[in-house]
């Protein structure tokens, strides 16, 4: 075992989004940084998450759709093309997250498994590293539920689905969250027969009206969604061929044949084996690292960011939180993270949301613009969807939901409005490009801002201003010899 005499300012454990952003930020602030990654830098987002899944969705957008009842899906060669497209996208983005890029940014990259052994000490495959502070950014991984027979079935998760070399003829998905919906729609569009088995309803966090729109979109693409059911067991047999065929049974007795079972039933943090107990770092019941608003753990020298914490599992959140954590650690400041977190499910149509998405008190009001009244949606004949705002009694925008094409692009402006506590009058006063889907957000703000005109005091003030202006204009016209007779106000 070798021990270095050097004490580094920051040890970063994990080379995903949180680790990369944290390490490069700390280095730019002047700290000495070592980043340890046991597999490959880039993390889930690059290799098994955002990049491949969004590329798959884009590739599937132009496909013919489900195989239907006529027979099994074909398209092995087409799926090879899809795989090549995914690999190409990863290869074009990977250099930004590579060890070479990190090294160029002043970060020392170590390949191996890190374990904390005590305050200010960690082991990396036998080498002892001494540090002043550390950022835990080890991410999360899919959970496999305890379902009888599942371990013997042809199962893939969001991490291993990319290892498929052929398009599944019959794909059963266990789960109904964003990953399940996105991959289910993509595979159905490519030609697979897709069944989704959901314990409650799809996208349980989202506005029910938005979910109805997404559900209809999935159904149009051939995804058979069964909600409110429990998977009781899986049986697998060779079925006369080299490939295993499984039957997935639900609680009402029905069974569904599957060549592949995609399990998308949640994730868990990667904290096992890190030795966090030696530092007194508190974990929650699921193993997430507990952090405060400054991303500090219960240990004064340990910080954490990304999916390993109890915060939502979003790549954009991981980067922001890591930057906050290392700024606090390296500079000794006390910055805190924003609680305004937008989220997007990239189905067709997309659904995006931020802040409060449903009224929580009688003082909250709702403004909805159906996209049947949005000119861009009409011109493209894609009117399924809406933009909805939740507003408080002072007119401040508390949150909202957008469902429709490119909803994820609109939610950025909505997130800014929520974060800055803007009112609908603030938003209505900003000129928006026309025609865009984003125009519906402006329309919703204007519709709410107009309601203030009907308040008695406001109406009285407006009446007075109109009368005063009428009198001034009439007086000016007489002064200049223009005959404009005053009229009796009808207000």
Known binding-site positions for FAD: 54, 307
Distance (Å, whole) CA 386 – CA 373: 9
Distance (Å, whole) CA 258 – CA 195: 9
Rounded to the nearest 5°, which phi and psi values hold at 139? 75, -160
Q: In b/e form, how buried is each residue of 349-369, taking b as 16+ CB within 10 angstroms? A: bbbbbbbbbeeeeeeebebeb
CA–CA–CA angle 436, 441, 447 (5° rounding): 120
Tell me: cis bond preceding 412? Omega within 30 of 0 counts.
no
Read off the tokens for 333: 């400041």
Cβ contact 250:227 at 8 Å: no
Coil vs helix vs strand at 218: helix
Read off the tokens for 416: 């800014």
Q: How many CB atoms lie within 10 A of CB 430?
A: 12
Read off the tokens for 117: 């052994």
The tally of CA atoms less than 13 A away on the side-chain side of residue 436 is 12
Nearest to 203 by CA among 192, 193, 217: 217
Please measure the distance between the N-terminal and C-terminal CA atoms of the chain and give it in whole angstroms.
89
Q: How many CB atoms lie within 10 A of CB 280?
A: 12
Nearest to 199 by CA among 171, 233, 227, 232: 227
Q: How many CB atoms lie within 10 A of CB 137?
A: 34
Nearest to 399 by CA among 366, 432, 440: 366
Cβ contact 14:138 at 8 Å: yes
Report how far Cα 231 is from the mean position of its chain's Cα atoms: 26
Nearest to 122 by CA among 3, 32, 298, 19: 3
Q: How many CB atoms lie within 10 A of CB 400?
A: 28
**Which residues are part of a known binding site for NAD(+)?**
175-182, 266
**Which residues are part of a known binding site?**
54, 175-182, 266, 307
Nearest to 159 by CA among 138, 176, 144: 144
């Amino acid at each position: 075992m070798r021990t270095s005499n050097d004490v580094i300012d920051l040890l970063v454990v994990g080379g995903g989004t949180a680790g990369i952003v944290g390490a490069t930020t700390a280095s730019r602030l002047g700290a000495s940084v070592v980043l340890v990654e046991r597999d490959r830098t880039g993390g889930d987002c690059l290799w098994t998450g955002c990049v491949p899944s969004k590329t798959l969705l884009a590739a599937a957008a132009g496909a013919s759709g489900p195989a239907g009842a006529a027979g099994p899906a074909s398209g092995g060669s087409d799926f090879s093309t899809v795989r090549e497209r995914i690999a190409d996208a990863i290869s074009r983005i990977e250099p930004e997250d590579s060890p070479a890029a990190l090294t160029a940014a002043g970060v020392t990259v170590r390949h191996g498994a890190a374990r904390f052994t005590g305050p200010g000490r960690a082991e990396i495959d036998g080498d002892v590293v001494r540090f002043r502070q550390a950022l835990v950014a080890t991410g999360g991984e899919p959970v496999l539920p305890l379902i009888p027979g599942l371990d013997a079935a042809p199962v893939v998760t969001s991490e291993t689905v990319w290892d498929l070399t052929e398009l599944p003829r019959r794909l059963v998905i266990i789960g109904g969250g964003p990953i399940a919906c996105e991959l289910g729609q993509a595979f159905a569009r490519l030609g697979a027969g897709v069944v989704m088995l959901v314990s409650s309803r799809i996208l349980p966090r989202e506005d029910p009206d938005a979910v109805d729109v997404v559900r209809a979109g999935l159904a149009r693409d051939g995804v058979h969604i069964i909600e409110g059911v429990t998977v009781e067991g899986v049986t697998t047999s060779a079925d006369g061929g080299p490939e295993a065929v499984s039957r997935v049974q639900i609680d009402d007795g029905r069974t569904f044949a599957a060549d592949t079972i995609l399990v998308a039933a949640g994730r868990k943090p990667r904290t096992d084996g890190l030795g966090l107990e030696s530092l007194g770092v508190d974990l929650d019941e699921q193993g997430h690292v507990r952090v405060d608003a400054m991303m500090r753990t219960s240990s004064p020298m340990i910080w954490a960011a990304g999916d390993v914490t109890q915060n939502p599992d979003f790549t954009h959140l991981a980067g922001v939180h890591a930057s906050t954590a290392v700024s606090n650690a390296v500079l000794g400041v006390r910055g805190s993270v924003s609680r305004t977190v937008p989220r997007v499910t990239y189905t067709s149509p997309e659904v995006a949301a931020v802040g409060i998405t449903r009224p929580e008190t009688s003082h909250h009001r709702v403004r909805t613009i159906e996209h049947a009244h949005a000119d861009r949606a009409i011109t493209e004949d894609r009117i399924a969807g809406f933009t909805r705002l939740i507003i408080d009694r002072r007119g401040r925008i508390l949150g909202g939901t957008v469902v429709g094409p490119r909803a994820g692009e609109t939610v950025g402006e909505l997130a800014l409005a929520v974060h800055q506590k803007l009112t609908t009058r603030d938003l209505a006063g900003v000129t928006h490009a026309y025609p865009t889907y984003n125009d519906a957000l402006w329309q919703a703000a204007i519709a709410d801002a107009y309601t203030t005109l009907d308040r008695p005091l406001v109406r009285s003030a407006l009446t007075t201003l109109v009368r005063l202006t009428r009198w001034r204009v009439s007086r000016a016209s007489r002064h200049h010899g223009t005959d404009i007779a005053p009229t009796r106000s009808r207000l």
